[in-house]
């Protein structure tokens, strides 16, 4: 397990309540995530935690059977408190 903390934003098709629930369920099952935010209007999903971004995107793709487009990955240094 890597000690790096990431915040990742992905674009997914969230057309209906069923799509939303499927994405939400998949996110809640992932142990590595600290928090998530599903923005239905902009069709974006943001996740934060100590994870490998590509692995989370692949898991999300497999569990929801939806296309996942990674828009942004931010690496956050949680170590000494210095910000860039």
Task: State pTM to two decimals.
Answer: 0.83
Residue 54: which residues within 8 A CB-CB, separation 6 or more?
70
What is each CA distance from 71 to 18, 57, 80, 82, in whole angstroms?
23, 11, 27, 25
Q: What is the DSSP letter of 43?
A: T
Per-residue pLDDT tens digits for 20-78: 999 999 999 999 899 999 999 999 999 999 999 999 999 999 999 999 999 999 998 76
Please state, in angstroms and rounded to a whole number, the distance separating the CA atoms of residues 29 and 35: 12
Question: Whole-angstrom distance between the N-terminal and C-terminal Cα of the chain?
Answer: 24
């Amino acid at each position: 397990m890597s000690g790096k903390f990431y915040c990742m934003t992905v674009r997914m098709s969230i057309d209906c309540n069923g799509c939303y629930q499927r994405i939400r369920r998949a996110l809640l099952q992932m142990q590595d995530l600290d928090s998530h935010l599903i923005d239905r209007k902009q069709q974006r999903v943001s996740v934060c935690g100590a994870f490998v971004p590509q692995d989370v995107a692949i898991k999300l793709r497999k569990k929801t059977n939806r296309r996942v487009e990674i828009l942004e990955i931010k690496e956050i240094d949680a170590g000494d408190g210095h910000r860039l």
